[in-house]
Amino acid sequence: MAKWKLLAKRALRSVGFPMHKLPLVRPPMLDYYELDSPLKDIYATISGRTVVDRERVMMLRQFARATLPLPGDVAEVGVYKGGTARLLAETLRGSGKSLLLFDTFSGMPQTSAGKDVHQAGDFGDTSLEQVTRFLGGCERVEFFPGLFPQTAQGLCERTFCMVHADVDIYSSTRACCEFFYPRLVGGGILVFDDYGYLSCPGVKSAADEFFAGKPETPVFLPTGQAFVVKHGSSRA
């Protein structure tokens, strides 16, 4: 510790200052975006088409990269204008994995009064055509427009190494858990965006309820996201 900091702390302690009230000053840290230079360009491309901030994008990128060696595809439920979908598609480029994208592409479905803050029709300023165009240069992207989980009928045999549940509301979060958890490979990751956001209380309720009886527990991140790593092992 720098000498001036030691002296300052000693002085504060000597006058009886409650040391636990000192603000935590973090030492300078590496910037992940400096370490992962392609992400800088990807973020520049998606930033106008996502409501997910820079720190959550950074986490999502790392979850996607970390699960690349596992078997199974990647899915996102909650695509909106395609921002994080494009991030995932760019991260999967060349991996042979498919990216399955689920959204109404016409706004939030019915929400639950008392459980959700969002209302039906929120995020309605998008369309399947716009998003298809935005992801036009990406490989192995499959679109499932309409209400999830109905749109997942016929996908029962698919397995997943990573799922991004960015749906903001209770019923859709619950549906993501019910559909994807049994299809997640061992070591696979289920990411909940907005888990800690007061604007999306249904996300935490649904995820916590679902995992209450399971061996895994959602891990709450300072970004507001949470993630679950499925127990068990997988061989690619």
Ligand X SMILES: C[S@@+](CC[C@H](N)C(=O)[O-])C[C@H]1O[C@@H](n2cnc3c(N)ncnc32)[C@H](O)[C@@H]1O
C-alpha 82/C-alpha 230 separation (Å) is: 26
C-alpha 179/C-alpha 156 separation (Å) is: 8
Name which of 141, 138, 189 is nearest 163 in CA terms: 189
Asked whether position 107 contacts ligand X by CB under 6 A, the answer is yes
Backbone torsions φ then ψ of 69, nearest 5 degrees: -70, -15
149 cis-preceded (ω within 30 degrees of 0): yes
Q: Which of 43, 61, 73, 83 binds ligand X (CB under 6 A)?
A: 83
x/- binding map, residues 116-135, to ligand X, per CB under 6 A? -------x------------
Q: Work out how close the CB of 7 gets to ligand X at its nearest, in angstroms, rounded to a whole number.
A: 48
C-alpha 8/C-alpha 56 separation (Å) is: 36
C-alpha 99/C-alpha 170 separation (Å) is: 24
13/54 with CB nearer ligand X? 54
Distance of CA 17 to the CA centre of its chain: 41
Q: Which of 72, 78, 188, 201 binds ligand X (CB under 6 A)?
A: 78
Backbone torsions φ then ψ of 184, nearest 5 degrees: -85, 130
Q: Which stretch binds ligand X (CB under 6 A): 1-9, 36-44, 78-86, 91-99?
A: 78-86
C-alpha 99/C-alpha 138 separation (Å) is: 10
Q: Work out how close the CB of 49 gets to ligand X at its nearest, in angstroms, rounded to a whole number.
A: 7
x/- binding map, residues 29-58, to ligand X, per CB under 6 A? ---------------------xxx------
Residues 205 to 234 in contact with ligand X, rule: CB under 6 A: none
Q: Which of 74, 90, 99, 103 binds ligand X (CB under 6 A)?
A: 103
Residues 129 to 168 in contact with ligand X, rule: CB under 6 A: 147-148, 166-168
Q: Work out how close the CB of 155 gets to ligand X at its nearest, in angstroms, rounded to a whole number.
A: 14
C-alpha 234/C-alpha 157 separation (Å) is: 16
Using CB under 6 A, list all residues that contact ligand X. Answer: 50-52, 78-80, 83-84, 102-104, 107-109, 123, 147-148, 166-169, 172
